[in-house]
Chains A and B, each alone.
Chain A
Amino acid sequence: MLEIKNLHVKLEEEDKQILKGVDLTVEAGKVHAIMGPNGSGKSTLSYVLSGRDGYEVTEGSATLEGEEILEMEPEERAAAGLFLAFQYPVEIPGVGNMTFLRTAVNAQRKARGEEELSAGDFLKVVREKAKSLKISPEMLKRPVNVGFSGGEKKRNEILQMAMLEPKMCILDETDSGLDVDAMKLVAEGVNALRDEGRAFLVITHYQRLLDHIKPDVVHIMADGRIVKTGGPELALEVEQNGYADILSEVA
């Protein structure tokens, strides 16, 4: 699904190398987790994949179903099936959540040459999906993320994911700022979307999210590289011993 090869990325504004040769392959139907200490480049990886400004790819490639994505505009990547659940979802005063969702869904359909959803059909689907994420109709009417609690913002990210039905979902520290109940709700939302044709890349600091979203593969990232790859037991090891042991082992 997603294949990253020898990816080197530096900050555009300054001469600072963040990613120093990331190799990663996520297969369809699988959940991969990336863990790592602060500053290891996890969030940068998610931003670069989604097309955010401010980064320069100096080497390497990233393909989605064989198609190079690093040269695409962010909206083209989205239409190709990539989705990033933001660590800090952005508030957009003046744009209703419902309008936002509908505009996004229809923009992607249009880009893929599909017919736009009618207002009625859209409403039906969004209400049903919102309900399962405990997102109230009132939240759908409010401006995007404005006045939402941390948990509501993250649930809103998952709702967008559910509506857009991407192939490759990247979750950037989706557990940050969530209490246990909110995390469960978010995890249930994600699990409901697990599918043979869909892959996930879950970026997290902590094992606890992975109790709820069970990964197939766990990667440890440090200093801009994937330094260790293993099964779910790797996350447990981190939880018990921290990163120090693993890092000294690979150093």
Chain B
Amino acid sequence: MAVAQAKLDATEARLAGLTMPEAAGWTKPAREEALARLLAVGLPGRRDEYWKYTRPDLLTAPEPKPAALFDHGEPPVFDEIERLKIVFVDGVFDAAASDPLEGEGLEIARLAEAQGADIHWAKDLYGQLEKDGQDPVERPLATLNTAFATDGVLIRATGKVKKPVSLMYLHRSETSDAVLHHVIRVEEDAELTVLENGPAAARFNKVMEVDVAENGSFHHIRAQGRDHERQAATHLFGRVAKEATFKSFTLTVNGVLTRNEIVLDIRGDDAVAHVAGACVGDGDFHCDTTVFITHDAVNCESRQVFKKVLRNGATGVFQGKILVKEGAQKTDGYQISQSLLLDDDAQFYAKPELEIYADDVACSHGSTSGAIDEEALFYLRSRGVPQADAQDLLVLAFLAEAIEEIESEEIADCILARLEGWLSRHRG
């Protein structure tokens, strides 16, 4: 089907404000190819099935909608964790605030600098996982990112990296528009944890491509919060090899528009991939979690656990799919998406999907929306716990299954502290 002219015009308008870096070096072919792909499909429009529950307008408009800065006075979420900090302010690398880009078992470089080199390990990955992730569903915002990313980090883990690499996205300008692209390669038997936090910009388009080699282990924990008016589209593309582990958790608090797409390709036998998320939203909050997991190997396990707590008209979206390809026998796929609606105005849209072409698999999925358990609430109150505290306790209990997916207790505590802070500010 031909792409509507209006859509192409809108795409042109958006691209008018973007320029490819002059010294794109080895990323140039991937960028040019991405631009061609983007022009062929256009940016997402309101009528696209994949954007049925989330309006893409703010993400595709020529200019970002200004987003006010907001300081709730809490320290950055992972401050207690010993980590290697890499700081971007409104999408621009901040060398002074960042740690030296080095560590045992690590090779780190900035995209903006490394792309000038003649040859780089990331050459075969940059834009490649993004491209692979376009089939069977197009993700044009990620393609735009590949073509126009201004910076990002290229991280290669060659051993068991102890200190997490922490990407901090600060937001200082109310009109900033950031496009960052990260590439991560976890080599055989290597281990890496990546943390992400911060509002980043008024509008943020981020792609992270992660390639986990045989028996490698990748852990990703991110916290999206603070500035409520910011708009974000993020894509996490993962390729998981034999016996490898891929785990990602996302906390989303605040945000008028967040679209998080996670696209995983399980390629090697006996691999494990878990993705989880907790989100709490109040008022004009909109959080869309869109997951697509492809099983293309034998005896692999995938798990999706997403929980959303919504009130005062806040909207949650979950689109999650498990595709089990022919021959991907002994697949164990689990998916659960649940929402806790704290009042009648909150909304949750869920579209869970299974598509299975192998005959010896165990896949299950479930999706529920419900109110707070009045019996449990009364039980707690009858023991002297004030109503607001009792409700918070039940909200945290509801989110617990998702938070338990974080393996590091220390990091899980950071996430919990952030949730508790948010809950205490959003009562009644």
Contact = CB atoms under 8 A, between A and B. Distances in A.
Interface in A59-81: 73-75, 77-79
A120 interface: no
B379 A86 contact: yes
Interface in B364-383: 373-376, 378-383
A132 to B, nearest CB: 20
Interface stretch (B34-42, B207-215, B391-399): B391-399
Interface in A85-139: 86, 89-95, 99-100, 103-104, 107-108, 111
Contacts of A53: 374, 378
B381 A74 contact: yes
A78 B381 CA distance: 8
A2 B396 CA distance: 36
B387 interface: yes
Contacts of A51: 378, 381-382
Contact of A107 (B376, B386, B396): B386
Given A73-B387, A93-B397, A50 B382 contact: yes
B383 A92 contact: no
Contacts, number: 80
A92 B394 contact: yes
A84 interface: yes
B393 A89 contact: no
B249 to A, nearest CB: 17
A74 B389 CA distance: 13
A83 B383 CA distance: 7
B379 A79 contact: no
Contacts of A73: 381, 386-387
Q: Tell me what chain B mostly uses at the interface: helix, strand, loop, or mixed.
A: helix
Contact-residue bracket for chain B = 20 to 34
Contacts of B373: 92
A208 interface: no
B397 A104 contact: no
Contacts of A100: 380, 383, 393
Contact-residue bracket for chain A = 20 to 34
B81 interface: no
13 contacts: A51-B378, A73-B381, A73-B386, A75-B381, A75-B386, A78-B382, A90-B375, A92-B373, A92-B376, A95-B396, A100-B393, A108-B384, A164-B383
Given A103-B389, A107-B389, A90 B379 contact: yes
A53 B389 CA distance: 18
A44 interface: no
Interface of B: 373-376, 378-387, 389-390, 393-394, 396-401
A207 interface: no
Nearest to B399: A94
A164 B383 CA distance: 8
B391 to A, nearest CB: 12
Given A107-B385, A111-B386, 8 more contacts: A53-B374, A73-B387, A78-B381, A94-B394, A94-B398, A94-B401, A104-B384, A164-B384
Nearest to B388: A75
B384 A90 contact: no
A103 B391 CA distance: 13
Contacts of A103: 380, 385, 389, 393
A95 B394 contact: yes
A160 B383 contact: yes
A79 B384 contact: yes
A52 interface: yes
A83 B390 CA distance: 17
A104 B385 contact: yes
Nearest to B385: A107
A84 B390 CA distance: 17
A78 B384 contact: yes
Interface in A169-201: none
Contacts of B374: 53
B382 A74 contact: yes
List the 6 closest pairs (A to B, CB-CB), nearest first: A94-B397, A78-B384, A104-B383, A108-B384, A74-B381, A90-B379
A225 B67 CA distance: 64
Contacts of B381: 51, 73-75, 78
B363 to A, nearest CB: 24
A95 B384 contact: no
A93 B386 CA distance: 19
Contacts of B375: 90
Contacts of A52: 378, 382
A111 B397 CA distance: 24
B378 to A, nearest CB: 6
Contacts of A90: 375-376, 378-379
Contacts of B398: 94
Contacts of B400: 94
A77 B394 CA distance: 21
A204 B401 CA distance: 38
Nearest to B374: A53
A92 B384 contact: no
Contacts of A50: 382
Contacts of A75: 381-382, 384-387, 390
